[in-house]
Amino acid sequence: MTIPLTYSLRNLLTRRLTTFLTASGMALVVFVFASINMLSAGLEKTLVETGSDNNVIITRKAANSEVQSGIERSQAAIIESLPEIATDSNGGVPLLAKELVVLISLPKRGSNKPANVVIRGIHPVSLKLRRQINLIEGRMPRPGSSEIIAGSSIAKRFKGGGIGETLRFGMRDWTVVGIFDAGATGFSSEIWGDVIQLMQAFRRPAYSSITFQLRDTGEFDSVKSMLDMDPRLTVDVRRETRYYRDQSEAMAKFLRILGMSLTIIFSIGAVIGAMITMYAAVSNRIGEIGTLRALGFRRTSIMISFLVEALLLGLVGGIGGLILASFMQLITISTMNWQTFSELAFSFTLTLDIIFKSLIFSLLMGFIGGVIPAVKASNMKIVDALRSH
């Protein structure tokens, strides 16, 4: 005979306090586990969504980021001549942008603590290559002027980043004439201005990168092969999504390692707590176990019943931890992008994969904490159990 599921559920409800305390400990561990994974997923999402699979980005060979890259004007002219570059449907203008990326230090609002910020010199075509950009306040900077637009994250967090304010860098004063929103992408943590003016201000003779849209996304391999074999060029050719995924890889890996280390430490305590709870349940129900055996329930049924009880305990903790972790999506944090050494703002992101992994992890904690007490309960002899009762 098998013991019904309601039996295990009823026993958990009978011991409300111990069930709550043990499930709370498990919920805390699942909260840490899910939050770290959400942090990693949020970082990856922010950087990967910054790019478009239709766009190709070209940087100097072996440069890890645009900040470290440099492409000479003569090389840019060769790349511009590629027939595979898409053109604007209105005027037939090639959808290619030669851009400059530099870092400056700006003080944060409230604390005056400085942090690195990306300055991007853009081409008029740059906005057509980034459809996620939306000007939410003000206007675009005039070409040839000392006007800039700031990402929404910059406007909120840095002094001088608001519309109408002035920033000084490159030995010049720059006026913020617009604020743009780039959604959940890294562009929201950048400042944009005219590429020619910024190259003059920072005395940069070369571009940092060239981004263009392919006429046909399937032509990427042939374009990459052509540019790689050209002896006049020393460049890396990547899809924009691949480039930004590489940007997030090191930081995301660090977060996963840190999260796993913390989770393992906390989970040991949670498993011990579950084990103590289940041992107490076995000790308090010795007579009940003997009665079940006398009624004909097999050892396996009793063991499964206690295991189900422990798994339910883990499931309750897992659901509680996920509910707590879900509120982390309301928080936006900033950290340093290890590839560009600039500050990047992003949010926690809860995915179905994280929910699944968190629930599996909570069930695993419940199973490990309950398996030994369950085996002990199933191995009790009928006579000894009834005598102790």
Task: Give the pLDDT mean for 143-154.
Answer: 90
- Flag the least confident range among 11-15, 113-117, 279-283, 381-385: 381-385
Contact 252, 245 (CB under 8 A): no
Measure the CA–CA gap between 252 and 36, rounded to whole angstroms: 10
Measure the CA–CA gap between 7 and 22, rounded to whole angstroms: 19
Could you read off the pLDDT of 255-307 as tens digits, one per residue? 677 777 777 777 777 777 777 776 666 666 655 555 655 656 677 777 777 77
Determine how many CB atoms are found less than 10 A away from the CB of residue 68.
15
166 forms beta bridges with: 175
pTM: predicted TM-score of the whole model, two decimal places: 0.67
Residue 222 zone, left/alpha/beta (φ > 0; ψ -120 to 50; rest): alpha
- DSSP symbols for 150-177: EEHHHHHHBTT-STT-EEEETTEEEEEE
Contact 82, 235 (CB under 8 A): no
Backbone angles phi, psi at 104, to 5 degrees: -130, 165
Measure the CA–CA gap between 347 and 367, rounded to whole angstroms: 33
Q: Which two tokens stand for residue 386?
A: 């009834």
Measure the CA–CA gap between 50 and 182, rounded to whole angstroms: 8
Contact 329, 339 (CB under 8 A): no
Give the per-residue pLDDT at 240.
83
Q: Over 90: is that where the pLDDT of 345 sits?
A: no
Measure the CA–CA gap between 310 and 217, rounded to whole angstroms: 52
Task: Give the pLDDT mean for 67-74.
Answer: 90
Measure the CA–CA gap between 328 and 334, rounded to whole angstroms: 14
Q: Which two tokens stand for residue 281?
A: 């349940």
3-state secondary structure of 224: helix
Q: Determine the distance from the C-alpha atom of residue 68 to the mean position of all C-alpha atoms in its chain, rounded to a whole number.
A: 24
Q: Enter the DSSP assignment of 238.
A: E
Q: Over 80: is that where the pLDDT of 247 sits?
A: no
Radius of gyration in angstroms for the set of CA atoms belonging to the chain, rounded to a whole number? 30
Q: What is the mean pLDDT of the chain?
A: 80
Determine how many CB atoms are found less than 10 A away from the CB of residue 103.
14
CA 251-257-258 angle, 5° bins? 90
Domain boundaries, the chain: 5-48+247-388, 62-233
Dihedral sign from CA coordinates of 227, 101, 214, 344: positive
For residue 307, give the nearest of 384, 260, 220, 375 by alpha carbon: 375
Task: Give the pLDDT mean for 299-318.
Answer: 80
